[in-house]
A and B are shown apart, each in its own frame.
Chain A
């Protein structure tokens, strides 16, 4: 059984407070603890402030008097000492909690995550070379297994952030980073680029789909396969158009002559839930809309508008939608 459909997601699917990943769960505990202590501190200061402003006092202004000054010095010193103790505790606490950023245990799977303007390139490295495959914008992981993400910024700096699973980590050109995640529950978790990366920073989302091991294995097996041969006339025309037009210069569809690497891998694009890094749900219609005019839908992105006749557009979108 594949995880719930998009709309059926429990609660917020991109939130540091609605957490389903090992490290996000410990981070949430830390966040709640620190926020609670800070709220109490703020309230104490407010009580002191209100008391200072509203307390009844002698009618005439007072001048400084040694005894009172000394008592005030003691009060202020006490408050400063309390501050030192609190931030000291926080410092130690956050030092200890830093280990929560790395999930313990054996790696089950390694995925290369490449940040590009404005989509995510994914390469499953897996236990053996034959199991490698590429995809884009949608990460599937088995529930309860530790997954290592190797983060590489290929053009500018991006930041990988799926708050329901883990804290964020930047993808810095020239400096590979790593992040480990483990989903405790099956579900669809949304993430999006958190470091400003140019024109379409707002539209650089990805999905992490955590599913039971069997479902994951099935999905991975499908992804390793090359694209199915078109079964109908329309999809066959679609493939021909795709190869004849500039599409193939940028996109790869394994099993066909299309082997471009500038744009996302499309071998199983029809099986992904969204296109254009989270802009649309994948349907034949949304594929057609996207291909017809990518610059209006996601201005500034690197996909040019390729002039197609209505028939060609229909055929190409039917073909891509069929790539399950």
Chain B
């Protein structure tokens, strides 16, 4: 299957013919139905990313409202009911509709390109997952617009969210939104695992997988293992609320702490589901901007895996003041602090890379540096709250608000913004403005720190979280006013980023295929990539194919051009195993998603929806899987 690259002129005419045939086979028909039926991971990935950023902007508006309300004591902009909906929406939206989906979205777009394949595994499931995600987001925001938004916190603790105290349909809407995002996240996780395990380009052995792809592999396993806990938790909650079970009712033998265990058994890995992709982005982006290979590939990958494993042994640190046995709490102090080891390994490896490299100060590197500065603070105040006695003073205060924003914005959103600048040329074929990029970095960086650092002090000064107002005789108004003003700077930074992205998508400078001289495979194809990703599947001979085989990237051939085919390779050594058919475009995932949405939303109101609503779902799935006579896969 391997052959040396042919002479340039012969290659050109061959390529034109090949490209024409492949474009015909892999194309997404233009027009409305074509757009709805596409299974191209790049189109779906772009949609996913775009939608997630819309939710980021909406969540940001909610944050701004909260900051206006809290700028002064006893402000009357928002009443308690609206405020409680807003902080619940902000948390639920940012965690379930922005942070997790956006990381998976970037992976949906990039992972197939980075491993050198033509589409993601299970591309129709991918299309389905996007529609379900969109429906879940629409459900939550529609409910909020109708003043039915959940008001029980993104963690929805029982009994507050239970049938007795969470009256109305608000908590049900929260729980069902979780179901939507569970389904879409699990679907993407399965696709990514299979893509990474079985569709890597020939020669991409385990030790030649880019760190971002490793990060997504670990993240996908975290999703697969953590989501069942929240499925169980939210289903039991819906049952308590809708059909009168008593899983969480202490008066009937239920247990309110059961909810917290289940929720945080999912909820803590959730944090790493957001952070690990960001760490992978940093390890991948740092190479072209430090102009040297990332130091300690093995250490970086092992740190990702170690974090993934430790992630499941930390959940109790969210419950240090719930009254569990103190010795048990101390065990979770030890495991929570241990997370600092893999985090430290990564930070030290990045520092070593920068130390030994030649930094190129473009926007993505600025975001990486900003990330290191803030993430180290987030890690260190994470060590603080991991200590049981320390936590008894700062738990549920603004100190914790500061902590997780340092980890989630500093630790995940900074790398993400850097990644958007970095991969923007690949996604759109145009480069983002460097000037605006640097401006937005400095505004976001300064605004972020000025907004969130004082919250540490507010927390220690006794300001609890989730309060819609505070009284003037409490000494918090000065810092709160400062925080609210700083939030204006942060908002300006994000606005500038959005302006830059929207403007550059239309008018940006045309980007070359590999504008950063980066070493990974996604830069081996055009910007933006054709529908079939690679005309010839590359053969990978090293961890950084575009640096080590700069001029003559070997290629594999033998795939048919008249139908969608991709190469399946072995798990460890990535030796070619088979030619696998890749599904055609199909409208059925959309019908299945609509049927599922109807069933799930209906089931907020009646348990019988699960019975009658499953009939259209079954029909949609039959249509989806109806045999179409595709010939058997060749090997």
| Interface residues in chain A, defined as those with a beta carbon under 8 Å from any beta carbon in chain B | 6-7, 12, 14-17, 24, 26-27, 30-31, 34-35, 38, 41-42, 45-46, 48-49, 51-53, 55, 57, 61-64, 68-69, 72-73, 75-76, 79-80, 83-84, 87, 90-91, 93-95, 97-98, 100-101, 117, 151, 155-157, 159, 161, 163-164, 166-170, 172-175, 177, 190, 192-202, 278, 299-300
A16-B462, A45-B347, A83-B344 in contact; A90/B387 too (CB < 8 A)? yes
A90-B337, A167-B393 in contact; A53/B160 too (CB < 8 A)? no
Interface pair B157/A14, CB less than 8 Å apart: no
In the complex, B291 has a CB within 8 A of chain A? yes
Task: Write the nearest CB–CB distance from B411 to chain A, whole angstroms.
Answer: 14
- In the bound complex, residues from chain B placing their C-beta under 8 Å from that of A15 are 460-462, 475
Task: Write the nearest CB–CB distance from B145 to chain A, whole angstroms.
Answer: 20
Provide the bound-state CA to CA distance between A177 and B358, in Å. Answer: 57
In chain B, positions 242-278 with a C-beta closer than 8 Å to chain A are: 250-251, 254-257
- In the bound complex, residues from chain B placing their C-beta under 8 Å from that of A69 are 295
- In the bound complex, residues from chain A placing their C-beta under 8 Å from that of B384 are 31, 34-35, 38
Interface pair A79/B348, CB less than 8 Å apart: yes
Provide the bound-state CA to CA distance between A79 and B386, in Å. Answer: 21
Interface pair B256/A200, CB less than 8 Å apart: no
Interface pair B341/A80, CB less than 8 Å apart: yes
In chain B, positions 325-345 with a C-beta closer than 8 Å to chain A are: 326, 329-330, 333-334, 337-338, 340-341, 344-345
Q: Which of A51, A156, A168, A192 contacts B392 (CB 8 A)?
A: A168
A80-B348, A199-B80, A199-B81 in contact; A163/B462 too (CB < 8 A)? yes
- In the bound complex, residues from chain B placing their C-beta under 8 Å from that of A100 are 389
Q: Which of B344, B380, B395, B467 contacts A38 (CB 8 A)?
A: B380
- In the bound complex, residues from chain B placing their C-beta under 8 Å from that of A300 are 80-81
- In the bound complex, residues from chain B placing their C-beta under 8 Å from that of A35 are 384
Provide the bound-state CA to CA distance between A63 and B388, in Å. Answer: 46
> Which one of B153, B355, B372 has the highest number of Cβ atoms from chain A below 10 Å of its Cβ?
B355
A16-B462, A98-B330 in contact; A72/B396 too (CB < 8 A)? no
List 17 extra interface pairs beyond A73-B296, A175-B323, CB under 8 A. A16-B394, A24-B393, A34-B384, A46-B376, A51-B355, A61-B358, A72-B356, A79-B344, A83-B341, A84-B341, A94-B330, A94-B390, A156-B159, A157-B159, A172-B257, A174-B254, A201-B468
Interface range, B side: 35 or more
Q: Which of A52, A97, A299 contacts B389 (CB 8 A)?
A: A97
Interface pair A157/B256, CB less than 8 Å apart: yes
- In the bound complex, residues from chain A placing their C-beta under 8 Å from that of B488 are none
Interface pair B387/A34, CB less than 8 Å apart: yes
| Interface residues in chain B, defined as those with a beta carbon under 8 Å from any beta carbon in chain A | 79-81, 84, 151-153, 157, 159-160, 164-165, 250-251, 254-257, 291-293, 295-296, 299, 321-323, 326, 329-330, 333-334, 337-338, 340-341, 344-345, 347-349, 351-352, 354-359, 369, 372-373, 376-377, 380-381, 383-384, 386-397, 460-462, 464-471, 473-475
Closest 9 CB pairs of A and B: A174-B250, A167-B392, A94-B387, A202-B467, A177-B323, A14-B462, A52-B355, A83-B344, A38-B380
Task: Write the nearest CB–CB distance from B352 to chain A, whole angstroms.
Answer: 5
- In the bound complex, residues from chain A placing their C-beta under 8 Å from that of B292 are 61-64
- In the bound complex, residues from chain A placing their C-beta under 8 Å from that of B390 are 27, 30-31, 34, 94
Provide the bound-state CA to CA distance between A90 and B322, in Å. Answer: 22
Provide the bound-state CA to CA distance between A118 and B478, in Å. Answer: 27
Interface pair A91/B351, CB less than 8 Å apart: no
A48-B351, A51-B355 in contact; A30/B387 too (CB < 8 A)? yes
- In the bound complex, residues from chain A placing their C-beta under 8 Å from that of B79 are 299
Provide the bound-state CA to CA distance between A165 and B273, in Å. Answer: 38
